[in-house]
């Protein structure tokens, strides 16, 4: 497996999942048709992804659990056994692979956390509104 085209986190997840043979989720970028292109065309992406996954399925005698094409991004997401994902990464049509699940958390800590009484649930505490006086606006009209 070429280390240059695999995310270190994906490599770690593959090693860990191999112990239990649990599925691994990865995003695979396919190589574009021409080296001058940044991403493969939508048609080329769909064709290559299906071709490569089908070839590996036949070779290993197993199927991927799930595959989602990102046609306009030149990539696809796959959930499969570690052996399947490793074989997929080794294919010449694959430009790179990253782990779908990254260790960084998107958790946002609450501000001013406090216990809540059941009577408060569903009821916003409103501050008394301060009403401003409305001022009448005089409009001048030109009558001829």
User: How high is the mean pLDDT in each 10-residue block of the chain (144 residues)?
Assistant: 74 93 94 87 94 96 95 95 95 93 78 81 64 66 57
Report strand pairing: 75-80 vs 66-70.
antiparallel
Mutual angle of helices 42-60 and 82-89, in 10-degree steps: 130
**Token code pair at residue 27:** 């995003």
Quote the pLDDT of residue 111: 85
Quote the pLDDT of residue 36: 84
pTM, two decimal places: 0.68
**Token code pair at residue 67:** 């595959």
φ, ψ of residue 72 in degrees (nearest 5):
-80, -10
Quote the pLDDT of residue 112: 83
In 3-state terms, what secondary structure has residue 95? strand
Tell me which CATH code domain 3-99 carries.
3.30.70
Give the span between the Cα atoms of 73 and 19, in whole angstroms.
32
Quote the pLDDT of residue 128: 62
Give the span between the Cα atoms of 45 and 40, in whole angstroms.
6
Note the maximum CA span of the chain.
93
Domain limits, the chain: 3-99
The secondary structure of residue 101, as a DSSP letter, is S
Quote the pLDDT of residue 74: 93
Cβ atoms of residues 80 and 72 within 8 Å: no
């Amino acid at each position: 497996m070429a280390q240059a085209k695999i995310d270190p986190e994906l490599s770690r997840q593959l090693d860990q999942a191999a112990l239990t043979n649990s599925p691994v989720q990865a995003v695979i970028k396919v190589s574009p048709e021409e080296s001058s292109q940044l991403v493969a065309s939508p048609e080329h992406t769909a064709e290559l992804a299906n071709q490569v996954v089908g070839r590996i399925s036949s070779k290993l005698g197993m199927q991927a659990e799930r595959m989602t094409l990102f046609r306009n991004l030149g990539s696809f997401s796959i959930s499969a056994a570690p052996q399947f994902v490793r074989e997929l990464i080794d294919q010449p049509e694959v430009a790179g692979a990253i782990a779908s699940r990254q260790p960084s958390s998107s958790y946002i800590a609450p501000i001013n956390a406090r216990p809540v009484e059941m009577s408060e649930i569903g009821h916003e505490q409103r501050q008394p509104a301060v009403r401003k006086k409305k001022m009448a606006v005089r409009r001048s009209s030109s009558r001829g």
